[in-house]
C-alpha cells in the first residue's frame, strides 16, 4: 500500500527521533541511578536540580515526537485498522499531555526553586520517586504510552519489517501493569525497566518500516 511522501517522512524521522531521545533518557537515567548526576543513587533517590534538567529535557521532547509518530502511523494504516491507530494516537496524546505537564512544571518552576533552595511552599510539586503526586502522574502517562504502542501494533500496514515492529510494540505494551502499579509495588520498577530496550527497539523498527513503505505519486495515494 502506497502512502504519501510526507507521511512516510514524518513517520521515519519522528520514530527515529523517539529512538534517539529514548536512548538518551535511558543513558542519563542510568547515570542518575549510579549517583553520577549528584543524587544518592538508586531508583528511589530524588534527583538534584541539574539531574532533573538533564533527564527531563529529552523526556519532554519525546512526547511531541511520539505524537507525530502515532499520527503518521494512523495515516499509513489500512482503512480497516484505523480505529486501532486512532486509539493509539489518542493514548499518545494523553501520554504526552500528562508527562509534558510534569516535566514542564519541573523544568520551569521546581528546578529554579531547587537551585535557589526555596522549595518550602511547593512540596506537592517536588518529583520524588514513589512519594509524590507528580511521580504518580508520570507513571500514568507512561501507562498510556504502553497502551498507544499496544493498539498501534495491531494497526501496522502490511509491509516489509511490519512483523518485528509489531512484536516490539506489543512487548512495550505488555509493560503496562508494571508501570501502572508501581506506586503500590515499587519493586515493579525492575521489570518495567525493560522499557529501556522495548521502546527504543520498537521505534527503530517502526522507523525502518516507514522507510520501507512505498510512496504514492507526487506525495499522494495513487
59-90: pLDDT as tens digits: 999 999 999 999 999 999 999 999 999 999 99
- State residue 211's pLDDT score: 93
Q: Considering only 37-46, 107-116, 180-189, which range has the smallest mean pLDDT?
A: 37-46
82-105 helix and 133-153 helix, angle to the nearest 10 degrees? 160
Q: Which long-range contacts (CB under 8 A, 24 or more apart) does 93-98 make?
A: 93/67, 94/141, 94/144, 95/63, 95/66, 95/141, 95/142, 95/144, 95/145, 95/148, 96/63, 96/64, 96/66, 96/67, 96/141, 97/63, 97/141, 98/137, 98/138, 98/140, 98/141, 98/144
- State residue 42's pLDDT score: 82
- Per the CB < 8 A criterion, the answer to whether 66 and 97 are in contact is no
pLDDT in tens, 172-205: 999 999 999 999 999 999 999 999 999 999 999 9
pLDDT in tens, 120-157: 899 899 998 999 999 999 999 999 999 999 999 999 98
Residue 215 has phi, psi (to 5 degrees) of -100, 145
Q: Which three cell numbers stand for residue 174?
A: 505488555
Question: What is the pTM (predicted TM-score) of this model?
Answer: 0.91
At 222, is the pLDDT very low, low, confident or very high (cuts 50, 70, 90)? Answer: very low
Residue listed under C-alpha cell 493514548: 91
Q: What is the CA radius of gyration of the chain?
A: 18
Amino acid at each position: 500500500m502506497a502512502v504519501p511522501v510526507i507521511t512516510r517522512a514524518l513517520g521515519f524521522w519522528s520514530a527515529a527521533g523517539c529512538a534517539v531521545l529514548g536512548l538518551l533518557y535511558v543513558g542519563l537515567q542510568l547515570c542518575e541511578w549510579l549517583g553520577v548526576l549528584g543524587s544518592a543513587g538508586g531508583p528511589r533517590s530524588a534527583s538534584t536540580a541539574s539531574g532533573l534538567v538533564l533527564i527531563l529535557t529529552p523526556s519532554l521532547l519525546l512526547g511531541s515526537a511520539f505524537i507525530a509518530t502515532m499520527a503518521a502511523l494512523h495515516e499509513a494504516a489500512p482503512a480497516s485498522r484505523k480505529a486501532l491507530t486512532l486509539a493509539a494516537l489518542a493514548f499518545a496524546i494523553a501520554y504526552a499531555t500528562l508527562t509534558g505537564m510534569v516535566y514542564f512544571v519541573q523544568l520551569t518552576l521546581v528546578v529554579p526553586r531547587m537551585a535557589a533552595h526555596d522549595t518550602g511552599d511547593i512540596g506537592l510539586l517536588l518529583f520524588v520517586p514513589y512519594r509524590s503526586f507528580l511521580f504518580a502522574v508520570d507513571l500514568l502517562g507512561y501507562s498510556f504510552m504502553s497502551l498507544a504502542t499496544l493498539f498501534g501494533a495491531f494497526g501496522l500496514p502490511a509491509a516489509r519489517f511490519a512483523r518485528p515492529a509489531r512484536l516490539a510494540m506489543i512487548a512495550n505494551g505488555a509493560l503496562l501493569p508494571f508501570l501502572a502499579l508501581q506506586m503500590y509495588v515499587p519493586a515493579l520498577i525492575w521489570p518495567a525497566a525493560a522499557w529501556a530496550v522495548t521502546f527504543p527497539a520498537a521505534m527503530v523498527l517502526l522507523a525502518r518500516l516507514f522507510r520501507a513503505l512505498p510512496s504514492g505519486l507526487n506525495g499522494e495515494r495513487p
